[in-house]
Amino acid sequence: MTGRMIRALGMMSGTSLDGVDAAMIETDGERIGGFGPSGYRAYSHNESSVLHDALGKWPGDDGVSEAEAFSVAAHAALAADFPEAELIGYHGQTLAHDPGGRGTHQAGSGAELARQTDRRVVWDFRTEDVRQGGQGAPLAPFFHWACADWAARQGHMGREPVVFLNLGGVGNLTWVDPATDGPETGCLAFDTGPANAPINDLVRARGLGERDERGALARRGTADADAVARFLRHPYFAQIPPKSLDRDAFAGLSDMVKTLSAEDAAATLVAVLAGSVAAGMEHLPAMPERVLVCGGGRHNPAIMEALSGALPCTVAPVEEIGLDGDMLEAQAFGWLAVRVLRGLPTSGPMTTGAPAPVCGGRISLPRSVRDETPS
C-alpha cells in the first residue's frame, strides 16, 4: 500500500571528501514522483583535511569530534537553501567501515542536525544492517531499482536489466531488473573496488591539487600493466557478492604506484578501477546491455574510456536515462529517509548480505515537530 508523496532532502558527503551534495526528491518511499532542485557545498582544502585526518577512526578517537561537528555544520548550512523540505535524509561522513569487526562509523549526529535545521532527520542508515549481519553497504541499490522503474515509466528505457555504476571514493554497482515487483527481488549489489579515492589521494600527495581534473594526468600517462595484474589477483575480486569495502581497504595501492611518475601512477589507478569493475561484472546474473555511470568518476574521460575498453557492453553516463549522476546518491538518501518513515526495507540479502530485509535508520525530531508518521 502506497503512502502520500513527501518532499525529502537527501544529503551525502562521500569518501572522496570533496563536499556535500543535497537534492530534493518527491516520493512515497516506493515510487519516485519527481525530482527537485539540488545544491552543492564544496569543502576547502583545510575542511577536507579535517575529515581526511579522521579517516579510519572510531567514536572517541582523536579528531572525530571535530569531524562530527564540522559535518553537521556543513550540512545544516546547505540545508538552509531548501526550506521546502519536509524531511532530511542525512548520511553522515563515513570514517571507518569494518562490518565483520567493529561495525561501521558515520560521523555526525542526526539529532544535532535536526536541532540546527528545525527539521525531521533520518540518519544512521547502516548500523542496523551491520547489526543484523549485513555489510551495511552499498545502500543506494534499492533506490537504483526505483530509478530504473521511474525511467521506464518516463519512456527513457525499457524493462531490461541494467547496471548502475557509482564511482565515488569507492566503486559500487547495482544490477537491476526493473521487470520485477520491487527492489527486494530485483537487485544485486556490491562494492567493486577502489575508484576516485586513490586517484585523489595521489594528486594531493604529489601537491597537484585535489583531483585529476578531466583525467589530464592519467591521459598523459601509461599504466603499469604488471602492477594492475598483480593488484587484480587480490582475493576480494573473486569473492562472491554481496561484499563491501572501506575507503582504505587497499591501503597498499598507493605504495604500488609510489615510484611511478604522477602521470603513469594516475593511469595505473584508472586501469585498476576499470579492471576491478570488469571483475565485478563476472558475478552478475546476466550481462546488461549497458552500464550507466554516476558519481564524480563519470566526469573523468580517462575513466570512461578505460571502462568502455574493459567492459563487454555500452558504457554511458546515467544522464542517458534522464537522471542526474552528480546527485543520485543524495537523492537516494532522501528516498531512503521516506522509506524508513514508512518502515519499509532499505537493504536485503542481495544488496548487503543481511539474512533478511532490513529497515535501517533512526528518526530524530526537532522540538517544533510532533511525530507525523505518514499513512
Residue 280: domain span: 141-321
191 and 300 part of one domain = yes
Does the residue 11 lie in any domain? yes
197 and 288 part of one domain = yes
For residue 233, the one-letter residue type is: R
Identify the CATH number of the domain in which residue 212 sits: 3.30.420.40
205 and 118 part of one domain = no
140 pLDDT above the threshold of 90: yes
| Model confidence band, residue 293 (pLDDT cutoffs 50, 70, 90) | very high
Q: Find out whether 125 and 165 touch, Cβ atoms under 8 Å.
A: no
CB atoms within 10 A of CB 312: 9
| Model confidence band, residue 2 (pLDDT cutoffs 50, 70, 90) | low
Torsion, CA 223, CA 96, CA 52, CA 265, rounded to 10: -10
Does the residue 373 lie in any domain? no
Cα 99 from Cα 245, distance rounded (Å) = 9
Q: In 3D, which of 323, 364, 360, 296 has the Cα closest to residue 176? A: 323
Does the residue 1 lie in any domain? no
Give helix 328-341 / helix 141-153 axis angle, nearest 10°: 100
Does the residue 163 lie in any domain? yes
Which residues partner with 171 through β-bridges? 167, 193
Express each pLDDT in 159-184 by its tens digit.
999 999 999 889 999 999 999 999 99
47 and 23 part of one domain = yes
Does the residue 14 lie in any domain? yes
154 and 205 part of one domain = yes
Cell readout for 15 is 569518501
Express each pLDDT in 228-266 by its tens digit.
999 999 999 999 998 888 777 887 898 999 999 999 999
φ, ψ (nearest 5 deg) of residue 197: -55, -50
28 and 164 part of one domain = no
Grid look-up 551491520 returns 130
Does the residue 370 lie in any domain? no
Q: Find out whether 85 and 7 touch, Cβ atoms under 8 Å.
A: yes
282 and 154 part of one domain = yes
Cell readout for 368 is 517544533
Residue 372: is it exposed, middle or buried by C-beta count within 10 angstroms (0-12/13-18/19+)?
exposed
Q: Into how many domains does the chain fold?
A: 2
334 and 315 part of one domain = no
Q: How many CA atoms lie within 13 A of 350 on its CB side?
A: 17
Does the residue 375 lie in any domain? no
276 and 222 part of one domain = yes
* CA distance readout (Å), 47 to 43, 211, 212, 258, 265: 6, 15, 19, 26, 26
Express each pLDDT in 63-97 by its tens digit.
999 999 999 999 999 999 999 999 999 999 999 98
253 and 342 part of one domain = no
The radius of gyration of the chain from alpha carbons, rounded to an integer in Å, stands at 19
Does the residue 207 lie in any domain? yes
223 pLDDT above the threshold of 70: yes
265 and 337 part of one domain = no
| Rounded to 5°, angle at Cα 114 from 110 and 118 | 170
327 pLDDT above the threshold of 80: yes
- Antiparallel, parallel or unpaired: β 162-167 and 314-317: unpaired
160 and 289 part of one domain = yes
Dump strand ranges (E) for the chain: 6-13, 19-27, 32-42, 87-98, 103-107, 120-123, 162-167, 170-176, 187-194, 290-294, 314-317, 362-364
Q: In 3D, which of 23, 46, 57 has the Cα closest to residue 247? A: 57
**Cis, peptide link before residue 242, omega less than 30° from 0:** yes
For the chain, what is the largest distance between any 2 Cα atoms, rounded to a whole number of angstroms? Answer: 60
Residue 163, helix vs strand vs coil: strand
pTM of the model: 0.90
